[in-house]
Amino acid sequence: MAKFNSVRLDSDKCMGCINCIKRCPTQAIRVRDRKAYIISDFCIDCGECIRICPHHAKLPVYDPVSVIHDFEYTVALPAPTLYAQFNNLEDTDIVLNALLKMGFDDVFEVSAGAEIVSEVSRKFINAHPEGKPYISTACPSVVRLVRVRFPNLIEHLLPISSPMDVAAIFARRRAMEKTGLPADKIGIIFISPCPAKMTSVKAPIGIGRSEVDAVVAIKDIYPLLLPLMSDSNDNYDIADSGKIGISWSKSGGEASGLLTDNYLAADGIENVIQVLEDLEDEKISHLDFIELNACPGGCVGGTLTVENPYVARAKINHLRKYMPVSKAHDVSDTNAIYLDREIEYLPVFRIGNDMKDSIKKMADIDKLQKRFPGLDCGACGAPTCRALAEDVIMGRATERDCIYFLKDYIGESCNISEK
């Protein structure tokens, strides 16, 4: 399968400070030769390093807004988080009309896709209670985390596409019917809260390919929409989703769409990891559904948004007031929205080729770790002394990357030269 990461490093801006290496939940970052680099196999595109980097040296990868000129006909797929960026918004149609004025030919709300997912999920969970608790598959970072770290939980992943991918399927169908154009002349363009969605478009998990053609950032679209937002002229009635759909933008929203109280919703990657650990150890039981979002507060906390996540959450709550619970959607043909590829465990953190090799390497790592000072100072460029020991045994670093080893080494060489 294609490997792709949407969080990259700008080595010109990177100062080699060690802020990010400590913050990465999968210990994917190292600093070598005064520049950070990401071990891409370990990275789950959660965006934590983007949040923490004081020098803005972490580059989320996504498409420029100009991508809309690459297609004959374009459909905007706004994530519901987009609505949470505006002050005093009382009608999503104002945003949707502004997207048309901006140059998109049509819009298909991801919140409408979300309502379809909610409905299909409800039916699926009722029909397959044996797989409970189901873990949400809407956040690409969470799916990637489970895939590399929680093999025992893969079977609990809800086998249903994300609202983005579902919206994209329906949007393309509609555009083709409307215009008669072939599929490749139509651009399905997702307006995203995060780089992780870019990853899931470029290297999808659970489906063969995504119907999304390009991913643009909410923060890039936002300033372009502001001057176009008026509720007076050419106000088409486009909005096609209600409370359930737009609530997906915040933690707990997806779960509430399942109309069950028997759920848990966690947000922020460290909390997500804690929940997955407890779930794996069977410390949590009797739940129907586990909603997990890598970002604080849910997608409103995505790194490509403008508004503070907590303010954004309040804005969504305000907007919800004026909405119906959900709109009616045609869910007669939903085969395409189930995941149809098996999600396989990717043991990227494995140290050996087989058990024997692993035992030997683990023993070597333990032994070496004991010789390091245990300060976890980060000066070596690894997040902890343990991580450096592992890097050395795995051939990614040398003992002398530890400044205490280096000191001894320099001392020894001086002694030798004195003699």
Catalog residues that contact another protein under the rule CB under 8 A.
Answer: 149, 151-152, 277, 280-283, 345, 347, 349-360, 362-363, 366
By C-beta, is 99 or 266 nearer to ligand SF4?
266
8 Å CB contact between 244 and 92: no
* 3-state SS class at 189: strand
- Distance between CA 112 and CA 171 in Å, rounded? 10
Written as six digits, the tokens of 89 are 């918004």
For residue 362, the partner it binds in another protein, ligand SF4, none, with Cβ less than 5 to 8 A by kind, is another protein
Phi first, then psi, for residue 335 (nearest 5°) are: -55, -40
Strand-pair partners of 265: 291
For residue 360, the partner it binds in another protein, ligand SF4, none, with Cβ less than 5 to 8 A by kind, is another protein
By C-beta, is 97 or 305 nearer to ligand SF4?
305
Quote the least distance from Cβ 101 to ligand SF4, whole Å: 26
**∠ CA(109), CA(137), CA(143), 5° rounding?**
125
Give the residue among 238, 232, 222 at the shortest CA–CA distance from 96. Answer: 238
By C-beta, is 220 or 277 nearer to another protein?
277
- Distance between CA 268 and CA 276 in Å, rounded? 12
Q: Give residues with Cβ within 8 angstroms of 379, minimum separation 6.
A: 18, 402, 403
For residue 349, the partner it binds in ligand SF4, another protein, none, with Cβ less than 5 to 8 A by kind, is another protein
For residue 359, the partner it binds in another protein, ligand SF4, none, with Cβ less than 5 to 8 A by kind, is another protein
For residue 196, the partner it binds in another protein, ligand SF4, none, with Cβ less than 5 to 8 A by kind, is ligand SF4
Quote the least distance from Cβ 397 to another protein, whole Å: 17
Strand-pair partners of 78: 191
Where does residue 287 rank: exposed (0-12), middle (13-18), buried (19+ CB within 10 A)?
Answer: middle
CA distances to 174, 184, 242, 400 from 76, in Å: 13, 15, 18, 53
By C-beta, is 358 or 413 nearer to another protein?
358
Strand-pair partners of 215: 190
Quote the least distance from Cβ 382 to ligand SF4, whole Å: 13
Written as six digits, the tokens of 210 are 């995504």
For residue 29, the partner it binds in ligand SF4, another protein, none, with Cβ less than 5 to 8 A by kind, is ligand SF4
8 Å CB contact between 168 and 210: yes
Determine the number of helices (DSSP H) and then strands (DSSP E) in the chain: 15, 11
By C-beta, is 196 or 244 nearer to ligand SF4?
196
Strand-pair partners of 160: 338
Phi first, then psi, for residue 131 (nearest 5°) are: -90, 0
Written as six digits, the tokens of 168 are 């994209």
* 3-state SS class at 292: strand
Quote the least distance from Cβ 355 to another protein, whole Å: 5
Quote the least distance from Cβ 145 to ligand SF4, whole Å: 9
Amino acid type, 335: N
By C-beta, is 92 or 305 nearer to ligand SF4?
305
By C-beta, is 67 or 154 nearer to another protein?
154
Give the residue among 196, 164, 260, 170 at the shortest CA–CA distance from 46. Answer: 196
Residues that bind ligand SF4 (CB under 6 A): 7, 24, 26, 28-29, 38, 43-49, 139-141, 193-194, 196-197, 293-295, 298-299, 302
Quote the least distance from Cβ 347 to ligand SF4, whole Å: 17
For residue 352, the partner it binds in ligand SF4, another protein, none, with Cβ less than 5 to 8 A by kind, is another protein
For residue 293, the partner it binds in another protein, ligand SF4, none, with Cβ less than 5 to 8 A by kind, is ligand SF4
Q: In what order do the strands lie in the sheet with 186-192?
A: 106-107, 73-78, 186-192, 214-217
For residue 206, the partner it binds in ligand SF4, another protein, none, with Cβ less than 5 to 8 A by kind, is none
Quote the least distance from Cβ 345 to ligand SF4, whole Å: 18
By C-beta, is 91 or 280 nearer to another protein?
280
Quote the least distance from Cβ 165 to ligand SF4, whole Å: 12
Quote the least distance from Cβ 209 to ligand SF4, whole Å: 19
8 Å CB contact between 362 and 351: yes
By C-beta, is 270 or 280 nearer to another protein?
280
By C-beta, is 12 or 281 nearer to another protein?
281
Quote the least distance from Cβ 63 to ligand SF4, whole Å: 16
For residue 49, the partner it binds in ligand SF4, another protein, none, with Cβ less than 5 to 8 A by kind, is ligand SF4
